[in-house]
Amino acid sequence: MESQNDFDRLLFFEHARRSAEVTYAKNPLDTENLTRWGGSLLELSTFQSVQESKVMIKDAISKLDEALSIDPRKHDALWYMGNAQTSYAFLTPDKDEAKSYFDSAYTYFQKAVDEDPGNELYLKSFEVATKVCPVHVSPLSPLGQNFTFLHQ
């Protein structure tokens, strides 16, 4: 951990993840809970090794898929799914595989904007997704380093 803030974030999202598990056992159709669970897993993945992070992101994607199967128009789940797809792409060394995750992220961000067009966060995420398409990221490099951009 780099700081007390990182440790606090880790504790917060771990608590949220555990709470979501308990809530899921009581009500597996609660889309708010599934979205919160997926978001927590996505946040927790940033504290893991590359391999552990990929597993955790896949788990987040699974929870978000579950929420979206119940409510396909749930804009916050769509936005989180775009972030999960982007995060997984950044950890994928194969260019073609990574591109498919980035393409999927673009689609999810577009759907989130379609459902909540005034949301500044969704608009910014979609704007970034439309301007750049990272085609390669080394799984060993931190985000923002060592990747090539294609401007559309």
The length of the chain, given as a count of residues: 152
Confidence band, pLDDT 50/70/90 cuts, at residue 1: very low
Query: Mind giving me the DSSP string for 8-29?
Result: HHHHHHHHHHHHHHHHHHH-TT
Question: Does residue 42 carry a pLDDT above 60?
Answer: yes
**Residue 146 pLDDT exceeds 50:** no
**Quick one: pLDDT at residue 139?**
45
Give residue 35's pLDDT: 98
Domains of the chain with CATH codes: 4-151 (1.25.40.10)
- Short-list 42, 37, 44, 46, CA closest to 16: 37
Which amino acid does the sequence have at 12?
Answer: F
pLDDT band at 37 (very low <50, low <70, confident <90, very high): very high
Q: Following DSSP, what letter does each residue of 24-58 receive, concatenated?
A: HHH-TT-HHHHHHHHHHHHHHHTTS-HHHHHHHHH
Any idea which residue has 């997984």 for tokens? 88
The amino acid at 34: L
